[in-house]
Structure 1
Amino acid sequence: MKSIQVTGPGETAVVEVDRPVAGPRDVLVRIRACGVCGSDGLYISVGGIPPRQGATPLGHEPAGEVVEVGADVRGVSVGDHVVLNPMAAGDGIIGSGGAQGGLSEFVLVRDAKAGVHLLAVPKHIPFEVAALNEPMAVAGHAVNRTNPSPGDRVVVFGAGPVGLGAAIAYELRGAHVVVVDIVPNRLDKALKVGAHAVINSAEEDVTQRLLEIHGEAPRSFVRGTRPDTDIYLDAAGAPAALETALANAKHGATLGIVAVHKRPVPVDFGSLLTTELTVVLSMGYPTEIFEVTQDLVDHWERYEILISDRIPFADARRALELGSTPGAAEKVVVTFDA
């Protein structure tokens, strides 16, 4: 079978490898769609992930169809459409340093347990949408870390896939959601997926707009006028997003950080002391990989809006280049022939 792998710093190739065979406790999945993540570009740029430096299979956002089921496996049938848990694979994280990658024609799920390693989804859900399950789990964990309540006023910085996924999750939990970005097309998508308002921070004063949208926070020992915003989520990774959130945080607000910051960001804790701000960071999806799946199924048309480009597996290397180039695309998904 064919597999897309990192072969050296800045280099990828289509590699011919043996097609796996399912043992009695295994499930073989034919991959039908796999999303491209910004981290794929990082893996390529550094030449792979140890211990597979220079030979890293790519793709950690897969969805597919079960084609072989071992005799000892329960709860899985040939023909099931499934999403996978990349972090549960026994041979390393799928597409992130493990022995297998989702940008391959087949993935073998060893010692497969339904609900742990893979989960079936209804067959009317497009495979490209099912492939959003992994990044939506990242978004779901970020939302969980900020512990929203119905009626909370939320600002999401960054309208990429994780930011938009978080916006959907917050809205489904009854929050009022504002999305901040500088790209008009992304802000249009934010409104389409359920954000109540958007702010183009390249053209508008974010503080003033938040005061207009969320109102003014009750007076406290925090100095100055602050928007009555309960939760800020940084899904942008830009210093300006953190600076804006910190400058506007009211007493008792929460700041969540799911974005990857490539450079240190200075923080004046002295000026923040009176806010009693709660800061939480979010990484991966300890429990959320299949918790988000039902939302994805129930609202798949909304999630489908996140996809900007569908590129066939034959052009997967172009998809990787597009998906790892900042601003070139919103969400790239590689599709495989049946």
Structure 2
Amino acid sequence: MATMKSVQTGGVGRIEVVDVERPVPGPKDVLLRIRAGGICGTDVTFLHMGGMPARAHLGGELVPLALGHEPAGEVVEAGAEVMGLKVGDRVVVNPQDAPTGIIGCGGRYGALSEYLLIENAQVGRSVAVFPDTVPFEVAALNEPMAVSRHAVNRSQAAPDDKVVVFGAGPIGLGAAIWLKLRGVGHVVVADVIPARLEKALAVGADAVLNSAEEDVTARLTELHGQSANALGQPRPGTDVFIDAAGAPAVFNTVVANARWHARLVMVAVQKKGEIDLGGMLRSELTLVASQGYPTEIFEVTPELVEHHERFARLISHRVPFADVHRAFELALTPGAAEKVVVTFDA
């Protein structure tokens, strides 16, 4: 029996690298050799939990969870019935298309493994092929950038809109890139970490705002002009707010600064907090939730390929699989890293 190494949860705040059976592809499957895989905030959440409940709705005990849902790899075996894929193709993956459960999020397989089985492999549905001009670690951004793209699509931001993105992590910075590629005229990125704000400017934001040190209202008014809410009270002229931070303070800040008919797109996982419904009423603020990537998973791939050098700036750490414990230590330490990508030897 051939084996491979795979990363799974090993209790609260810990991972384990285990030897598991290497999957054997059936006639409709392909086997990938993973070459790079990102670590997501969802992976960190699973580690904080210590695994996944065996029967979540019944509060079952935690069981180990295979981690990783942001892979890029190359086809090493292809079943006889697979169409449009061949050995050597470089692909990114739709983790939600696996019939045995979402890859790395409770499904049978995790992508932080040496090999990954793609069941019922189909180009444009379960995988997309990308050229060798794009490094594997940049291609591994395909999944999180689809999350960002969905948030921007949900915002319906137009070229003459003025937008602020709260949170300069990978999702927020990705949103800033997509907004500029969409032709949006003015994009501000707000965060509390100066290095992240520098990166926001590097990827194309028009301005940045340190919300820990600056008066948000004054700065947005300076950048976007003055408008008003439904009662005529002065507000910045910001049209669209995107919350990629998930902190209650962000939601409150948006409500306090929303002009009449502003829109707030909520893409970050929200923390519990009180909501000023009266403030939302006074601005007729539209709240739009953004979850995952219903259609965007491969919509983003051609532009990721075209602008791969720009997206590469989002990666803060490239860590070899042999040192995967350090990769997760970085991801688990607040402020230590922005986007960690684990790389696998060729």
- Does the aligned pair in 2 maintain the 1:9–1:54 contact within 8 Å? no
Q: With structure 2 as the length reference, what TM-score do the two structures score?
A: 0.94
Q: For 1:39-78, list aligned pairs within 5 A.
A: 39-51=42-54, 53-78=62-87
Letter of the 2:54 counterpart? P
Aligned to 2:8, the other structure's residue is in SS state strand
Q: For the structure 1 residues 311 and 245, does the alpha-carbon distance in structure 2 shift closer, same or farther, using more than 3 Å as the test?
A: same
Partner of 1:201: 211
- Report the equivalent of 2:20: 17
Query: Is the CA contact (8 Å cut-off) linking 1:95 and 1:102 kept in structure 2?
Result: yes
Q: Give the conservation status (yes or no) of the 8 Å contact 1:256–1:279.
A: yes
Whole-angstrom distance in 2 between the partners of 1:275 and 1:180: 21
Aligned twin of 2:161:
152
Task: Name the residue aligned to 2:11.
Answer: 8
Match of 1:234? 243
State the alpha-carbon separation in 1 of the partners of residues 330 and 188 from structure 2.
28
Segments of 5+ residues of structure 2 without an aligned counterpart are 56-61
Label 1:207 to 1:185 Cα distance change in 2 as closer, same or farther (>3 A): same
Equivalent residue number for residue 109 of structure 1: 118
Which string of whole-angstrom CA distances, capped at 9 and with x for unpartnered residues, describes residues 50-101 of structure 1?
A: 3393321111111001111111111111111100001111111111111111
For the structure 1 residues 41 and 221, does the alpha-carbon distance in structure 2 shift closer, same or farther, using more than 3 Å as the test? closer
Aligned with 2:145 (options 132, 136, 140)? 136
Partner secondary structure for residue 296 of structure 1: helix
The amino acid that maps onto 2:134 is: I
1:220 Cα deviation after fit: 6.0
Whole-angstrom CA distance in 2 between matches of 1:36 and 1:220: 40
Q: Which secondary structure state, in structure 1, belongs to the residue aligned with residue 76 of structure 2?
A: strand
Contact 1:40 1:324 in 2 (8 A): no
- 2: CA distance between counterparts of 1:77 and 1:324? 37
* Corresponding position: 1:334 with 2:342: yes
Partner of 1:95: 104
CA distance in 2: counterparts of 1:45 and 1:269, whole angstroms:
32
Between the aligned partners of 2:10 and 2:333, the Cα distance in structure 1 is 19
User: SS in structure 1 opposite 2:287?
Assistant: strand
Query: What is the aligned partner in structure 1 of residue 291 from structure 2?
Result: 283
1:35 maps to which of 34, 38, 52: 38
> TM-score w.r.t. structure 1 length?
0.96
Among 267, 273, 281, the alignment partner of 1:265 is 273
Equivalents in 1 of 2:279, 2:100: separation in Å?
47
User: Please, which runs of 5 or more residues in structure 1 have no aligned partner?
Assistant: none
Change (3 A) 1:46 1:298: same
Is 1:181 the equivalent of 2:191?
A: yes
CA drift at 1:223: 3.4
Does 44-53 or 223-232 show the bigger shift? 44-53
For residue 322 of structure 1, the aligned residue among 307, 314, 330 is 330
What's the RMSD between the two structures over aligned residues? Answer: 1.3
Determine what percentage of the aligned residue pairs are the same residue: 60
State how many pairs are aligned: 336
